[in-house]
Structure 1
Amino acid sequence: MTVAYLTGEYPRATDTFIQREVAALRALGIEVATCTVRRTGPEHQTGPEQRAEAGRTFAILPALASPRGLLRAVATAARHPARFARAAALAWRTSPGGLRALAYQAIYLAEALTLAGHLRTIGASHIHNHIAQSAGTVALLAAELTGLPFSFTLHGPDDFFATDRWALPEKIARARFVACISAFARSQAMLLSPEAAWPKLHIVHCGVEPGRYRPGPRTGTRLLFVGRLAAAKGLPVLLEAFEQALRTRPDLHLTLIGDGPDRAALEARARGLPVTFTGALSQGDVAEALSTADLFVLPSFAEGLPVVLMEALAAELPAVATRIAGVAELVEDGTSGRLVPPGDAPALTAAILELMGRSDRPSMGAAGRAKVEAEFTAATEAARLAALFRGAP
């Protein structure tokens, strides 16, 4: 079978878990044709794996912008007028209201027409979407245009902030199945759907490859954050907590790997502190940084189930994270790390100092790796997803 995978941007440096999932599905014999709404820039192609994926991924907007692509979209609508009418009605019905939103729905319909033409060309048998926002709407409409079964992976937290805007109840109702990345995500989908739909809500984690991660030499002084430098990650709280921790442990150093809209402000806030900003790094470089760090810190305000936490635990690195969404399904408080309330700098400081002062960090790291190996490997999770694809008629 050929499964068309659609995301808003692929491959992205921040979404390497999708790339791992695609590779694992291909290893299981499923043909995965990657599609993206927008073509990613070179800043996201941080290694040969990303560059190779970018080269084989169909990009909707560049195709639609070409005269040939536009004519192809029009021809797709004209060839199947009844399906086009149903898709247009669905786009209208799932609009959150207002002229601006309706204009976006028209754009999504045009993108869906372009995608539908491509899916017929490659002989796709199923459409799967990751991150069920605008790209999810394109996938939903493309399924109506082609008659192909549709499914999606539900992440959160942004999906849950605007369920009406992204028509999540409609997407759940029309999906052949929904892959929820955590029990928390599944519970939110249950809130949005009738009880009769609950059996098609499946927990499929975004997994990692534990073999990529190994502990290396550690000094007992290095703190590490990996992620997007954006408001949702709570980094001002981390910098406040780190500054307080330095009063007790002036030998500590903090490294922040990643990029984002808040980088300049965070660099200004951290001036004079032993903090290093590296920018975005390749998967290999991140794995190396995880191997030599002593504590991973993720002070987020909003998350789904962070893959970077899986990577940290796989590297036998204890973690301090906020007790939000699905995080507690991964980090076991007191066993593989500590969980603290979001936005609580004193609690974060206390947790950092506690774990940096513990002599049993290696055993905590081993417990974290065991958790990942048991429940969050890319191969195991891809096998669950493959079974769902193959079970769809």
Structure 2
Amino acid sequence: MKLLFVGTNPENTGAASHFVALAQAMAAAGHQVGAVVYPDGLIWQGLSQSEVRRYGARFRNVFDLRGYVAVIKAARQLKPDWLVGNFGKEYWPLILIGRLLRIPVALFRHRTPPMKRISAWLIPRLAQRFLAVSQHARQAYLDRGVPGSLVRVLYNPVNTAQCRRDPRQRRAILHSLGLDEDAIVLGYSGRMHRGKGIFPLFEAASAAMAEQPRLHCLWLGDGPDAPALRALAAADVTAGRHHFLGWINDIHPYYSALSMLAFPSIATETFGRVSVEAQAAGVPVLGSDLGGIPETLQTGVTGLLLPPGDVAAWREAILKLCDPALLASMGAAAHDYVEQHFSMRVIASRFLQILTGG
């Protein structure tokens, strides 16, 4: 099958990561894949080591005629069986181009806030495939009146080879942080703002540190509330055990350094790619029991689901996972779980089924 993905967002977002991983997955499965993407942007760079053919374009909005020309030119070269879109600004252009060139269109929706009324009604009905990235997101669209028959679910694929645990990387990262190899490392990766639950996590982690001297917290990310969190940590007695590395474009090597990952959001998440990636590396996950997060792990087996913002519950869960035997068993189960449910091979096969009517 020939697929032309269109995604000209320059930013590093969850939808961008999904775009790269799905395009790579379909190419690895033997399909001919092209991608119209922002030149030298993060998606362009992410596809640089794959077999996906890249076409540079800047699609600023629905009225950008240069974007239409670029997509039509790429489509005439590749002659795709499907056009695939991931970003809202390209929904209408892809539907119009699909009608013009008589190519079916598959559109992914990564967010649950409502679209404008006309778009919310027409886009799921005009696209030949309209896909949500979680059951939680699908239900949100159904609650707004989209017929259930029009919304399919396809989870984010994860390159499990890219997430493979590497003991050498673990040793190197721990050494760079001044930590012993027997350190227990709780990790957070993502945007730093209150809705992500970073402040309750800090309280829970600091309280757990009072009982577990080998426990450290590794903070990967940045955002509007990062300065406040850093100041809070600097004033705490556990200051030397909270390590802030800022924004990391490629966090995959850092999964090897983690003993467990926290996904503590108190605002609803559509999915949770970082949860799946961590588990692919054999890292158990502590996740908030809301939104799409429960769909990313097997509670009690590959991690634990916890009440959002409940500092006492999170403290107890962190201490529970400080048990080496539990960490080892959950880590092994986590890796297998991701291979069975979120690997590139599994998601590529499911996407093909969806496109061909399965």
Q: With structure 2 as the length reference, what TM-score do the two structures score? A: 0.81
Determine if the alignment matches structure 1 residue 109 to structure 2 residue 62: yes
Deviations 1:125-158 (A, max 9, x none): 4332214x334344445445655432211223xx
**Corresponding residue of 1:313:** 279
Q: What is the CA–CA distance in structure 2 between the aligned matches of 1:333 and 1:172, rounded to whole Å?
A: 33
Alpha-carbon shift at residue 11 of structure 1 (Å): 7.0
* Distance of 1:166 and 1:214 partners within structure 2: 47
Alignment partner of 2:255 out of 290, 297, 302: 290
Deviation at 1:206, TM superposition (A): 0.7
Aligned to 2:218: 255
Shift in Å, 1:223: 0.9
Instruction: Provide Cα deviations, 1:204-250, integer angstroms capped at 9, x if missing partner.
Output: 11111223312636625211112222343221222222222222224
Residue of structure 2 in register with 1:267 after alignment: 230
Q: Does 1:175 align with 2:132?
A: no
Structure 2 SS opposite 1:108: coil
**TM-superposition CA deviations, 1:247-291 (whole Å, max 9, x none):** 2224321111223333333322322522222233354xx333212
The whole-number CA distance in structure 2 between the counterparts of 1:263 and 1:165 is: 35
Corresponding position of 2:190: 227
Q: 1:49 to 1:60 in 2, by over 3 A?
A: closer
Q: Is the 8 A contact 2:183 2:214 kept in 1?
A: no
CA distance in structure 1 between the partners assigned to 2:62 and 2:46 by the alignment: 31
**1:20–1:2 CA distance, 2 compared to 1 (3 A):** same
1:179 positional shift: 2.3
Query: Which residue in 2 is equivalent to 1:351?
Result: 317
* Kept after mapping to 2: 8 A contact 1:5/1:129: yes
Measured on the aligned residues, the alpha-carbon RMSD in Å equals 3.1
Question: Would the aligned equivalents of 2:3 and 2:84 in 1 still touch at CA under 8 Å?
Answer: yes
The secondary structure found in structure 2 opposite 1:161 is: coil
Cα displacement (A) at 1:169? 3.0
SS in 1 for 2:191: coil
Query: Structure 1 residue 244 and structure 2 residue 207: aligned?
Result: yes
User: Shift of the alpha carbon at 1:202?
Assistant: 2.1
Q: Distance in 2 between matches of 1:10 and 1:2?
A: 24
Shift of 1:360: 1.9
CA distance in structure 1 between the partners assigned to 2:57 and 2:28 by the alignment: 24
SS in 1 for 2:331: helix
Distance 2:298 2:33 in 1: 34
Aligned-partner Cα distance in 2 for 1:110–1:210: 39
Contact 1:258 1:278 in 2 (8 A): yes
SS at match of 1:167: helix
Aligned 8 A contact 1:109 1:141 in 2: no
Q: How many residues align?
A: 334
1:150 aligns with 2:105: yes
| Matched residue SS, 2:297 | coil
Give unpaired runs (5+ residues) of structure 1: 62-106
Q: Is the 8 A contact 2:36 2:71 kept in 1?
A: no
Displacement, 1:339? 0.8
Q: Which residue matches 1:5?
A: 5
User: Could you tell me the percent identity over the aligned residues?
Assistant: 23
Q: Distance in 2 between matches of 1:271 and 1:136?
A: 45
Q: 2:7 touches 2:19 (CA, 8 Å); kept in 1?
A: no
Aligned twin of 2:343: 377
CA distance in 2, matches of 1:314, 1:169: 37
Unaligned runs of 5+ in 2: 171-180
Q: How does 1:1-393 map to 2 (within 5 A)?
A: 2-7=2-7, 9-10=9-10, 12=12, 15-36=16-37, 44=42, 49=46, 56-61=54-59, 108-111=61-64, 113-122=65-74, 123=76, 125=80, 126-131=82-87, 133-143=88-98, 148-156=103-111, 160-164=112-116, 167-195=119-147, 198-212=148-162, 213-214=164-165, 216=167, 219-272=182-235, 273=239, 274-283=241-250, 286-300=251-265, 301-357=267-323, 359-390=325-356
For 2:247 and 2:101, locate their aligned partners in 1 and report how far apart those are by CA, in whole Å: 38
